[in-house]
Every structure is written in C-alpha cells, then in structure tokens.
C-alpha cells in the first residue's frame, strides 16, 4: 500500500464508503464520528471549514473561458509532456472508468482524458477544463489538497468535503520542474469511488516520474544546443571557465571540476564558484560565460534586519542592493552565527521550523536564496562561502537580542537569539 493511498488491498469498498460518509456527516454536523478521519483529511477539512464552503456541494463553479485555458496551456511546460501522460492512461481509461486530469500550479484544469461517459459524469460535477480545483474553491479534493500539502494525496468517497464528490475517488501528485524545482502543476487520476484499485497510486506516481524525466531530457537537449551555439566563443578563450544557461546549469566546463549547477547568473552581480572563486558572469547570446574575476577576491555583504530585510553587496568592481525575504534573511543570519562550522540540513530545519521534517523545504529555500544572491552559501554543511564577509546591521537596536526582526521571528533558532 502506498504511503498516501486511501485504501489497502482487500478493502471492502462499498462498506468503507458508507463508513466514510457517516464519518463525514457526523463531523460536518458537529457530532462525534465513530471513526476518525485520516490526518491529511482532518487537516484539509480544518482549512476548508474556514472558507465557509457549503458541504452539500452547492458551491458555484465558474470555469475560465476557453481563451484563458489555451493561454495557460501554451505557457505551461507540461504541454510538452501531456502526450506522454495520455499514453499511460489511454489504454486502460475505458475499461477502468478513470479520468486523467492535469492542472497548472494554480489548480486550473488544463487537460482531461478519459471515455465520453466518465467525462460526462465529470462535467456534471464541474470537473472540467478551466475549472479551479483548489480547496478554497471546491473543498477537500486530491488536487487542491495536494497543492495545499505539497505532497501526493488520495481521497476516497466521504473524505471529500462536498457531498457531490462522495461518489468519486481521486489520486493526485505534484509535478515539479526538475531544473528549477518550481511547482508546475498536478497530475490526477479520478473515477467512480467503487472502481478504486490500490494500483492507482502507482499509476499516478509513474505518470509524475515520466513527466519529470521527459522535462529533464528536454533540458539536456537545450544544454547540447547551447554548447553548439557557443562553440566559437569557447574556442577563442583560455583559462578555467564555465558555460551555463540562464538558470546556472552547466553546459560546458573547462579547467574546473564542478557540480551540474551554479547560482543563476546576472550581469550586475558577482557569484562565487567552487574551483573558480569570485566570478563576474559575462552574457552571451544564448547563455553565460563564467570566469574568475581579476581584481578582487572577496564579497562584502551587509544584511540589514529591518521590517523589510535587505542586503547590500560589493565585489568585483560592482555593488548592488536588494530586498530579501524574511526566510532568506533568517538563513543568512543563522549561517553567520554558526560560522565556518556551518549547519546540516537537519540543523537548519530545527532552527527554521522547529523539527527535522522539513529537509525538502530547507533545500528549496537555500536554492532560492542562491538564485537571488548568487552562490553565497556552500553545502554539506550549509555555511557562508569563504569569499563572503558578512556584517549584520540591526536598525533601531544596539544589540541583536533587542532587534525587532529577531524578536518577531517565527523560527525557533532566530528567536533564541533574543535571549
């Protein structure tokens, strides 16, 4: 049984559906149910209760017009893999009475595939192209709850908030851009509740893996194209260098061993690269050339912990000022306080969130920080890179412990600095 499945092999589906509907009615009516909802369902219902949606299913569906759906399709990277996803489901769609649905990151349904009969049943539910299937729009459902939980979700019958969705099961999982880590949308397989099979979870997992692998393959093709276009430039320069795309993915390396990615380059700010030190990116017509800076070897960074935190950076004959998110300011502050010893993913998770269950969130935040500021953070453990001299300013406070930013922080490790 998958960790996110709603049923186990051998489950009596009609009986389980009846039990869940009774549980739903008891909870909605303010009573004490004979069985408790699963944790993911309880969390979702708690969120949906606050929206004021009608559990009887009378909530209005106003789909986007066709023109907007087409625009979103054109902009979605998933448009390049929808054909591959359809091929997974099409052979079994009619026999299994299932529907493949793919949304964008806003929960807007962009594509559906299934038999005419199952699509007609979905239409009656408002489960069609252009409809928004977030929790705030249609209550607890696998698509909206997968978006809210940032994790795969399967729901069965009475676990849905709206009674009109009780005759259905739905299984959904997020799809991320393997290059940037950005959420691209949701892949969902839905169908009549009593046709749910434990293998549906594996089907959705396979679809997501296929989508992400195909996106990665297209990414590799773009890097090959970048190497070809930049070949004349590479042949004319000497010394250690990297050729990278706009996201910092390395298409070519010469004279330096590096991982597959560096910070996303920008022409107005230096970055540090292991093996090259401080570098000033040079923009080409289709990518970036990264070589060691000639006249400076360090970056001076000032972190201002005001109500709107910001950084000022000087290095490689340039300087710039930029606001940063509260979370990024907290990470910089924590790494500065821990010095060269740095912090592991677990350490940073405890400091930011109070537990060790947020490794994915920690890695994602550090990745976003690097894209915003350059490679100012080393990994394994996380620490400020050797070439960065960081100074922390606390406007309106003489000491860090008196700083309003520190005292208002929701991160346990930052709040502890106020003691």
* 67-106 confidence digits (pLDDT tens): 999 999 999 999 999 999 888 887 777 778 899 999 999 9
Residues contacting residue 269 through CB under 8 Å, at least 6 positions apart: 313, 318, 320, 373, 374
Tell me: pLDDT of 1 over 60: no
pLDDT at residue 298, rounded to an integer:
67
Between 406 and 265, name the one with better pLDDT.
406
pLDDT tens-digit series, residues 135-171: 999 999 999 999 999 999 999 999 999 999 999 999 9
pLDDT band at residue 367 using 50, 70 and 90 as cut-offs: confident
254: left (phi > 0), else alpha (psi -120 to 50), else beta?
beta
- Listed range (151-165, 273-287, 404-418) with the worst mean pLDDT: 273-287
Mean per-residue pLDDT over the chain, rounded: 88
Q: Which two tokens stand for residue 324?
A: 């940063």
Which pLDDT score is estimated for 375? 65
Which segment of 6-20, 62-76, 160-174, 302-316 scores lowest on mean pLDDT?
Answer: 302-316
According to the model, what pLDDT value does residue 72 have? 97
Query: DSSP letter at 187?
Result: E
- Distance separating alpha carbons of residues 354 and 407, to the nearest angstrom: 16
57 torsion bin: left (phi>0), alpha (psi -120 to 50), beta (else): left
pLDDT at 57 over 80: no
Complete domains list, the chain, with CATH = 13-217 (3.30.450.40), 237-290 (no CATH), 299-418 (1.10.10.10)
Q: If you average pLDDT over residues 276-288, what whole number do you get?
A: 81
Helix (H, G, I), strand (E, B) or coil at 71: helix
Q: What percent of the chain has pLDDT over 70?
A: 95
Phi then psi for residue 40, to 5 deg, are: -65, -35
């Amino acid at each position: 049984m998958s960790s996110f499945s709603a049923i186990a092999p051998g489950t009596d589906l009609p009986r389980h559906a009846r039990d869940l509907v009774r549980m739903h009615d008891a909870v909605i009516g303010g009573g004490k149910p004979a069985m408790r909802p699963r944790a993911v369902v309880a969390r979702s219902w708690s969120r949906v209760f606050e929206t004021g949606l009608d559990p009887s299913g009378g909530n209005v569906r106003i789909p986007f017009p066709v023109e907007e759906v087409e625009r979103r399709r054109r902009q979605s990277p998933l448009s390049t893999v929808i054909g591959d996803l359809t091929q997974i489901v099409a052979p079994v769609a009619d026999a299994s009475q299932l529907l493949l649905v793919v949304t964008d990151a806003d929960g807007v349904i962009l594509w559906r595939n299934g038999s005419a009969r199952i699509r007609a049943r979905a239409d009656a539910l408002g489960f069609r192209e252009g409809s928004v299937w977030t929790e705030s729009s249609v209550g607890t459902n696998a698509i909206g709850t997968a978006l809210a939980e940032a994790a795969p979700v399967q729901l069965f019958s009475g676990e849905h908030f709206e009674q009109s969705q009780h005759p259905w099961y739905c299984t959904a999982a997020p799809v991320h851009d393997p290059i940037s880590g950005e959420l691209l949308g949701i892949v969902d397989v839905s169908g009549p509740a009593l046709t749910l099979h434990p293998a549906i979870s594996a089907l959705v997992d396979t679809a997501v893996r296929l989508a992400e692998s195909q996106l990665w393959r297209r990414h590799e093709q773009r890097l090959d194209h970048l190497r070809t276009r930049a070949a004349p430039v590479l042949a004319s320069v000497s010394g250690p260098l990297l050729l990278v795309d706009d996201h910092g993915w390395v298409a070519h390396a010469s004279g330096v061993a590096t991982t597959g990615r560096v910070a996303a380059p920008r022409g107005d700010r230096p970055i540090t690269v292991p093996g090259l030190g401080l570098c000033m990116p040079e923009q080409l017509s289709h990518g970036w050339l990264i070589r060691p800076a000639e006249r400076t070897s360090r970056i001076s960074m000032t972190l201002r912990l005001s109500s709107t935190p910001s950084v000022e950076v000087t290095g490689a004959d340039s300087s710039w000022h930029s606001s940063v998110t509260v979370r990024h300011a907290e990470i910089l502050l924590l790494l500065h306080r821990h010095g060269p010893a740095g912090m592991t993913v677990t350490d940073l998770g405890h400091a930011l969130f109070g537990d060790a269950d947020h490794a994915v969130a920690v890695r994602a935040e550090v990745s976003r920080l690097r894209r915003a500021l350059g490679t100012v953070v080393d990994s394994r453990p996380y620490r400020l890179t050797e070439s960065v001299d960081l100074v922390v300013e606390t406007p309106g406070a003489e000491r860090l412990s008196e700083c309003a930013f520190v005292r208002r922080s929701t991160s346990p490790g930052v709040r502890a600095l106020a003691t």
